[in-house]
Structures are given as structure tokens and as C-alpha cells.
Amino acid sequence: MKLPDPKAVAKAVAITLALSGLLAACGGPYEDIRREAGEVSMVGTSTPDLIALCYNASGTTPEALKAMADEACARTGRSARFVGQNRYQCSVRAPHRAYFACIGQAEAVHATPADALKARARRRLAEEAGHLTPASPVPTAPVVSPNVAPSILPSPAFPQAPSLDSIPRPAEADKGIHIAPATPGGIYPEGGGPGFPRL
């Protein structure tokens, strides 16, 4: 049996790798929203509350991803906020996955996406426990004017600092501490010292 020519095999492998590399770079972003046939529940990572978009970093801009996420969140009347990303989690053509949280107007006051997700989970648990009805408004963060400094209240853990009048002045400080004057020749005698030449 005759073996194939090594140069021909190397050439075929090189062409195959080059074509697969070119095809991998031309995949567009898509929502990872796989579902079983005829089912409403999702199998992929994307949910109505957390949108997962698979994309290729070389051909997709962050603005395009944000626009796709906003479009997906608009189906439930909310807007998208970037949460995070994972590298090499999707297909070969679009290997990276970006996550966007769908947030409503009430959740937009939270500082970070994690705060919004925690608030949504707390609200859902409160509704399930019967402490909060779905019709009641979501509590929002208080609005603080930037020109008003918050008052500092004393507490047992952090007592109020003493006033400047109660701090003793240097003249009134302990007079028992005396500093000896420096010797005229320094700490070593005129004959020099260890590592010092004679003068």
C-alpha cells in the first residue's frame, strides 16, 4: 500500500485550517434562545430576565450587542443593562457570550446590575411569601441632593470626636519629657568611629 505524499497532505490540512478560520470570523451575533420544539420553556442560557448573546469579538461592536439586547428586552417592555461576559462558551463562529439583564424603570435606580438582580429576587420572594402584592409599587432609593451634606450622628461604635478646645496645647503637655542637646562632635568622637575616618 502506497502512503500519500506528505506535501499534499500538509497542503490539504493548511487549506482546511485557513477556510475554517475564515468561516469562524464571519459569524454574526445571535441570541442563545434555544427551545424544544413546541415548548415555551427555554433550553439555552437566555431567559426573559437575562439575555445571552453569542458573538465574535472581531466582527461585533459593543453598540451592536447593546442594540440586540435592547430589542430582546423590549419584548417585555424593559431595557437592557450589561452584566458580564464569558469567553469561548458558544459556537465556533461566535465563541463569546455576553449577558444583559432586562431591567424596568423601578430597577433603574440601582447602582449596579447585581443590585437590580438582587432587588428583583427579593421582590419575587416577597410576592411568593405574600408580604408584597404585585400591584404595590417597588420601593425606590431616596433622592439625595448633591448640595446637602449628610449629618453625622454619634453612635456607640463611633463616638463623636472631641472638640479642638479640649485637646492640650504643647505648652500644657507633660513637662517630664526632656530631650538632651546634641553633642558638638556628633555621636562619634573626633578620633572617628567604626567605618568613619579620623578627622
Compute how many other C-beta atoms are within 10 angstroms of the C-beta atom of residue 81: 21
pLDDT of res. 121: 82
User: Residue 110's pLDDT band (boundaries 50, 70, 90)?
Assistant: low
Residue 81 scores a pLDDT above 80 = yes
* pTM of the full structure: 0.42
Q: Does 198 reside within a domain?
A: no
Q: Can you give the residue range of the structural domain that contains 52?
A: 20-129
76 belongs to a structural domain:
yes
Count of beta carbons in the 10 Å neighbourhood of residue 72 = 20
For residues 41 and 93, the model is more confident at 93
Percent of the chain with pLDDT over 90: 5
Cell of 145: 441632593
Alpha-carbon gap, residue 48 to 101, rounded angstroms: 9
> Is pLDDT of 8 > 80?
yes
Contact 43, 27 (CB under 8 A): no
Q: For residues 73 and 63, what is the distance between their CA atoms, to the nearest angstrom?
A: 15
Measure the CA–CA gap between 109 and 141, rounded to whole angstroms: 7
pLDDT at 14: 77
Residue 29 pLDDT class (50, 70, 90 cuts): confident
Residue 23 has pLDDT above 80, yes or no: no
Whether 154 is in a domain gets the answer no
Q: How many domains does the chain have?
A: 1
Residue 49 lies in a domain: yes
Any domain includes 53: yes
Inter-CA distances, 196 with 89, 104, 182, 199, Å: 69, 77, 19, 9
Task: Tell whether the model's pLDDT for residue 95 goes beyond 70.
Answer: yes
For residue 109, CA distances in Å to 77, 116, 120, 142 come to: 17, 8, 12, 9
pLDDT for residue 92 is more than 70: yes
Q: Report yes or no on 148 lying in a domain.
A: no
- Bridge-based pairing of strands 30-31 and 50-55 is antiparallel
Query: How confident is the model at residue 126, as a pLDDT?
Result: 75
pLDDT at 4: 80
In a domain, 196, yes or no: no
11 domain residue, yes or no: no
Query: Average pLDDT of 114-141?
Result: 67
Range 137-164 average pLDDT: 56
Q: What does the pLDDT look like over 52-78, one tens digit per residue? A: 898 998 888 999 999 999 998 888 888
